[in-house]
Amino acid sequence: MPNFDKEYFNIGYLDTLSYRQTFIHRINPGIKLVVTLVFILIVVSFSKYEIHRLMPYFAFPVFLISAGEIPTGVILKKIFIVSPFVLFAGMFNPMLDTTIVYTISGVPVSGGWVSYVSIIIKFILTISSALLLIATTSFPGICSALEKLRVPKVFVMQLLFIYRYLFVLAEEAMRIVRARNMRAFGKHGRDIKTFINIIGTFLIRSIERSERIYHAICSRGFDGRIRLLRDIKFKFTDIIFALLSVSVFIILRMYDIAELIGDAVLKF
């Protein structure tokens, strides 16, 4: 799967998306983080047979995609790439849970299929909201929000450092792979012995790099914390966004909108 790596590590793209300027991008990162967390918690709180109640929650990712001007294809592709484990873990539901729960125009539907579909829907909802969070929020913004939420400083700094050097080292790894491919024919050079030498050298290089970084930041007066140029403040729109979205999530949790609409349609 040569494409897998390309897609999986194509994080630079999500990062560039996060620097766009839309109404969604301008919302306070902390607010967006908390709203996303609430969204995920409420989505997973539904029991495994309530597919129709999950449907209204598609409003959140769809809204973020459209208002945040995020290309839909990218998000769908990323969801698809990470789906195998969930597809596997739910695979046995249809086989083992064969109690009939619905009958749709004579076709019986077993509880297992219903719960499998609900797992897949939950998967799409939760994963897309996580991806959309990062696609509409700059990572340093999220980190400063985490710091405000009292997450330990060492951890936040760690996140910022990884984010900073991820792209640098990823490029180095790509150069290494390219060099190996050019020197090796077919499968040669991919054996475990060569691999260990490559990784070992790469590790030594990385450690040396960290020493250089340490000297560099020391000479620039590093005192153990990374500062952001501008402080992120709460705006009126942030509070409106938070209140609106969370109350919509809760209302949808309390009332079965899909069924109400369905009832209304059937009564006509």
Report the site for another protein in 188-207 (rule: CB under 8 A). Answer: 190-192, 194-204, 206-207
**Segment 45-84, which members bind another protein (CB under 8 A)?**
45, 47-49, 51-52, 55-56, 58-59, 62-63, 65-67, 69, 78-79, 82
Residues 120-149 that bind another protein (CB under 8 A): 120, 122-123, 126-127, 129-131, 133-134, 139, 142
**Alpha carbon distance 222, 2 (integer Å):** 41
Among 20, 34, 40, 148, binds another protein (CB under 8 A): 40
Range list of H helices, the chain: 2-8, 11-17, 23-26, 29-44, 51-54, 59-67, 72-81, 84-90, 93-96, 111-136, 139-148, 153-183, 192-219, 236-254, 257-267
Region of residue 162 (left: phi > 0; alpha: psi -120 to 50; beta: else): alpha
Decide: is 243 part of the binding site for another protein (CB under 8 A): no
Which member of 17, 28, 31, 93 binds another protein (CB under 8 A)? 93
Site for another protein in 152-191 (CB under 8 A): 152-155, 157-166, 168-170, 172-174, 176-177, 180, 187, 190-191
Cα of first residue to Cα of last residue in the chain, in angstroms, is 52
Of 197 and 233, the one with the shorter C-beta distance to another protein is 197
**Calpha distance 21→15 (Å, rounded):** 13
Pick 43 or 233: Cβ nearer another protein:
43
139: closest CA among 7, 16, 9? 16
Q: Between residues 31 and 65, which has the closer beta carbon with respect to another protein?
A: 65
# residues near another protein by CB under 8 A:
126
